[in-house]
Amino acid sequence: MARPFSIGVQRTNKAKSPTPGRFYYGWIVLGGSVLAMALGSGVSFWAFGLYIAPMEQEFGWSRAEVSAGFSVSLAISGLSGPLIGRWVDARGARSAILFGAVMTAVTYLLLATTSSLWQWFLYLSINAVFRQLMFFIPFQALISRWFDRRRGMALGILGTGFSLGGFVVLIMAFVIDEVGWDGSFIFSAVAVLVLFLPLTIFVLRNDPSEVGAFIDGESHEEAEERSRAGPVPGLTAREALKTRLFWLQAGAMTLFFFGVLGWLVHQVPFYESVGVDRGVAAMLVTIMAAGGIFARLAFGFFVDRFERVEIAAMGLLTFLTTAFVVLLINSTAPGITIFLMLWIVGSGGGPLLEPLLLTRSFGLKHFATILGTMGVVVTIGIVLSPTLTGLIFDSTGSYDLALAMLAAALAAAFVLFYFASRLPHPLDALKAPKPT
């Protein structure tokens, strides 16, 4: 079993006090994690929309059927969250990422052999479990263990990896055009192995003590001062589930992802439906991703200054809801331009919300397990959104009603975040001195 981790005390008998002015290895871990997030998201989430038209054309499946395959895979990914979270909390993120990368590559090879709808659903579902092992939960837990005071900024930088995945869309679009959808899955398998294996083996480490350092790059004296305050407490997943705050946050995040995932999966088909060329559509996705890099960095910098993350989330939701309203009113070039500007700002903090909400509310001790548990709830929105969006298009021949549905979900998330912001953090009660 992995060594217990505490952000209160991280010194072991073998750990050495860092040399004054020594470069903090956590930044190297963060940089490698950004690259991994970029590739992982680029060949999966960002590329989902690129497979819709090819699968429709080759097999005659409806848009809803193709989208449902992605929805089911996302459901399986979410349902596996608690088990993956326990793996990360018990054995460390590094082992999860290494095993997940190898098996994800194998499942991409399996996807390349797809010839029927049931195989599409099954292979995507298997891929989803192993992809989860090398994606959000382990990397968010990993970075949270390397950074404390600047956790918001570090997670913001990590979030840019998801944005950088949008650049991979251009590569994936080219690969699909040149070697087909099946060849692109083989390409994805090779790319994952080439990046993840050396990164995990030679660069990533579970926590600062493995390189003789302290969290945030603190000196020995600073770490000793922190340790005198005692280890920072944390709630278990079972204790978190008993709080109203957890369920309000989970409900808000479910609606948030409902609004966002439906668009991410269908953005390329939407642009094509309003007359935008496929190549231009891929470029628009890349522009959105590029803007998201700066938006995530800005959000990560400023969110540490918010007493409640929920308030920051409400600001993001205001931009996102307005973005869909604009697109409903005007889907020509001016409308799309305004939409992109609003979306870039609003989606900037999306990947940061869950880890920041949960670490502040329930602590770091069982963070990965709580994150995985919330993922089960959030999966409801992730599963329903792409499928419903596809069904609406198949029924009406337009995305208008779907855009209205996504906007309504985001507005409802705003309301739930407001009520969550009125509740105290359960972690504060554990930190409070007990009466003598």
Whether 390 and 63 have beta carbons less than 8 Å apart is answered as yes
Q: Which of 169, 104, 109, 165 is nearest to 138 (CA)?
A: 104
Number of folded domains that form the chain? 1
Tokens standing for 382? 């992730």
- Indicate the residue type of 261: L
User: Is residue 251, in this structure, part of any structural domain at all?
Assistant: yes
Whether 114 and 120 have beta carbons less than 8 Å apart is answered as yes
User: Is residue 80, in this structure, part of any structural domain at all?
Assistant: yes
Distance CA 367, CA 220 (A): 26
User: Is residue 11, in this structure, part of any structural domain at all?
Assistant: no
User: Is residue 109, in this structure, part of any structural domain at all?
Assistant: yes
CA distances from 115 to 131, 163, 208, 248, 289 (A): 22, 32, 47, 42, 32
User: Is residue 20, in this structure, part of any structural domain at all?
Assistant: no
- Which DSSP string corresponds to 410-433? HHHHHHHHHHHHTSPPHHHHHHSP
Predicted confidence pLDDT, tens digits, the chain (436 residues): 333 333 333 333 344 444 445 789 999 999 999 999 999 999 988 788 789 889 999 999 987 788 788 878 878 888 899 999 999 998 999 999 999 999 999 999 999 999 999 999 999 999 999 999 998 899 999 998 999 888 888 988 898 888 788 788 889 989 999 999 999 999 999 999 999 999 999 999 999 989 988 888 877 777 666 665 555 678 899 999 999 999 999 999 999 999 998 898 788 889 999 999 878 887 888 788 788 788 888 888 888 788 899 999 999 999 999 999 999 999 999 999 999 999 999 987 887 898 889 989 998 888 899 989 998 998 888 778 888 898 899 899 999 999 999 999 999 999 999 999 999 999 887 765 555 5
Nearest 5°: CA angle at 253, between 154 and 336?
Answer: 85
| Strand residues in 294-388 grouped as ranges (E) | none
User: Is residue 15, in this structure, part of any structural domain at all?
Assistant: no
Whether 343 and 295 have beta carbons less than 8 Å apart is answered as no
Whether 217 and 26 have beta carbons less than 8 Å apart is answered as yes
186 CA to centre of own chain: 24
| Full domain range(s) for residue 237 | 26-219+233-428
> For residue 253, what is the domain's CATH number?
1.20.1250.20
pTM of the model as a whole: 0.77
The region that residue 61 occupies, defined by phi over 0 for left and psi between -120 and 50 for alpha, beta otherwise, is beta
First and final C-alpha spacing in the chain? 36
User: Is residue 225, in this structure, part of any structural domain at all?
Assistant: no
- Burial of 372 per CB tally in 10 Å (0-12, 13-18, 19+): buried
User: Is residue 5, in this structure, part of any structural domain at all?
Assistant: no
